[in-house]
């Protein structure tokens, strides 16, 4: 809806949106409108969480995640910032974010999963970058969103949910329109290979003017290996589970080349 910046700055309120939708559809909003309203509800839930758990911008809601070892890798973090991970859908999203201050919610989930699962870099790194770059940056929503994708928040994504960037790209950008707009250096690849350039033949790469590792980076990590390492690392949190912090107010195993 692109209303989130206006919600954040108080130009419009959630109650106004709710009443406008119900007025438009005479009290019977269709399924897509109900989905939209549910997103407004999630925003209100984020504020509820932040109010009652004010430390969540810097600490996980799930206390057991305090013992999780996040990696530290400045080079990989910088590549993620700049949209140079070697995964086209991730790079397209990060470049759009830097250029426009905006990113679709689906792409936010994809790039967030890549940071926290493939690279195992802390969700706080992602939250900080989004806070600095999004035009709709909102402390409550940003915090809840990153804790959700990192698995450490309220009703968070399960640790074994690792978004497959190739499959996500093929599903939500089947013609490669989005990737071609934001990652023009691989724009001449076919729809079949646009989301995984390493699968293109040498002849197709030559005709498309793509030199992997030169004009476009090789993947930072291998998808299958990164997924398996993430599952092994996150599975250590299964026992014992210590619950919520107290005292407060897709993924098929395609092989990708290593860098």
Tell me, yes or no, whether 175 and 135 share the same domain: yes
Q: Pick the catalytic residue from 11, 18, 31, 42.
A: 42
- Report the SS3 class of residue 121: strand
User: Domain range spanning residue 157?
Assistant: 61-250
Tell me, yes or no, whether 75 and 168 share the same domain: yes
- Report the SS3 class of residue 140: helix
State pLDDT tens for residues 36-79. 777 777 888 899 999 999 999 999 999 889 989 999 999 999 99
Domain boundary among 35, 52, 69: 52
Q: Pick the catalytic residue from 18, 39, 98, 225.
A: 39
Q: Pick the catalytic residue from 18, 70, 102, 198.
A: 70
232: in domain: yes
Mean pLDDT to the nearest integer, 173-187: 98
- Alpha-carbon dihedral of residues 197, 198, 199, 204, nearest 10 degrees? 60
Residues 54 and 194: their CA atoms lie apart, in Å, by 43
Tell me, yes or no, whether 33 and 138 share the same domain: no
Output 11 or 69, whichever has higher pLDDT. 69
Domain of 236, CATH number, reads 1.10.579.10
DSSP string for 14-66: HHHHHHHHHHHTTT---HHHHHHHHHHHHHHHHHHHHHH-TTTTTS-SBGGGG
Record the pTM.
Answer: 0.84
Q: Which of 4-8, 165-169, 180-184 has the lowest mean pLDDT?
A: 4-8
Query: Both ends of the chain: CA-CA distance in Å?
Result: 38
66: in domain: yes
Tell me, yes or no, whether 123 and 226 share the same domain: yes
- Report the SS3 class of residue 67: helix
Determine the angle formed by the axes of helices 139-150 and 31-52, rounding to 10 degrees.
Answer: 100
Total domain count for the chain? 2
* pLDDT of res. 19: 78
Tell me, yes or no, whether 93 and 166 share the same domain: yes
Q: Pick the catalytic residue from 44, 66, 105, 228.
A: 105
Tokens describing residue 41:
């509800």
pLDDT of 173 higher than 80: yes
148: annotated active-site residue:
no
* pLDDT of res. 144: 93
- Partnered with residue 212 across adjacent β-strands are 216
- Partnered with residue 121 across adjacent β-strands are 71
CA 33 centroid distance within chain: 23
- CB-side neighbour CA atoms (13 Å) of 148: 16
* pLDDT of res. 69: 93
State pLDDT tens for residues 75-99. 999 999 999 999 999 999 999 999 9
Tell me, yes or no, whether 16 and 73 share the same domain: no
Tell me, yes or no, whether 109 and 225 share the same domain: yes
* pLDDT of res. 159: 72
255: in domain: no
Q: Pick the catalytic residue from 80, 96, 129, 146.
A: 146
User: Would you tell me how many other CB atoms lie within 10 Å of the CB of residue 241?
Assistant: 9
Tell me, yes or no, whether 89 and 176 share the same domain: yes
* pLDDT of res. 211: 98
- DSSP conformational letter for 116: I
146: annotated active-site residue:
yes
Instruction: Give the helix ranges, DSSP H, for the chain.
Output: 4-8, 14-24, 31-52, 74-82, 88-100, 105-113, 123-133, 139-150, 165-172, 177-182, 202-208, 223-235
Tell me, yes or no, whether 158 and 209 share the same domain: yes
198: annotated active-site residue:
no
Q: Pick the catalytic residue from 80, 96, 123, 129.
A: 123
Determine the angle formed by the axes of helices 88-100 and 105-113, rounding to 10 degrees.
Answer: 120
Tell me, yes or no, whether 30 and 74 share the same domain: no
Tokens describing residue 19:
């009443």
State pLDDT tens for residues 219-240. 999 999 999 999 999 988 875 5
* pLDDT of res. 257: 45
Report CA torsion sign: 196, 197, 201, 207: positive
* pLDDT of res. 244: 52
* pLDDT of res. 193: 98
């Amino acid at each position: 809806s692109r209303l989130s910046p206006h919600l954040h700055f108080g130009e419009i309120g959630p109650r106004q949106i709710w009443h406008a939708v119900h007025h438009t559809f005479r009290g019977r909003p269709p399924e897509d409108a109900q989905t939209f309203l549910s997103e407004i509800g999630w925003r209100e839930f984020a504020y509820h969480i932040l109010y009652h758990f004010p430390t969540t911008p810097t600490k996980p809601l799930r206390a057991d995640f305090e013992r999780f070892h996040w990696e530290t890798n400045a080079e990989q973090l910088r590549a993620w910032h700049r949209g140079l991970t070697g995964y086209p859908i991730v790079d397209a999203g990060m470049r759009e974010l830097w250029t426009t201050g905006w990113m679709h919610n689906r792409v936010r989930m994809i790039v967030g999963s890549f940071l926290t699962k493939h690279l195992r870099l802390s969700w706080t790194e992602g939250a900080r970058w989004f806070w600095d770059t999004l035009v709709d940056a909102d402390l409550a929503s940003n915090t809840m969103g990153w804790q959700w994708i990192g698995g450490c928040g309220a009703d968070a994504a399960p640790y074994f949910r690792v978004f497959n960037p190739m499959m996500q790209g093929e599903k939500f950008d089947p013609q490669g329109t989005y990737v071609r707009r934001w990652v023009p250096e691989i724009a001449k690849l076919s729809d079949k290979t646009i989301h995984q350039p390493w699968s293109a033949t040498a002849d197709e790469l030559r005709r498309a003017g793509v030199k992997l590792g030169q004009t476009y980076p090789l993947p930072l990590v291998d998808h299958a290996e990164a997924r398996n390492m993430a599952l092994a690392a996150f599975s250590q949190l299964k026992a014992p589970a210590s619950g919520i912090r107290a005292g407060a107010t897709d993924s098929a195993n395609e092989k990708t080349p290593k860098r």
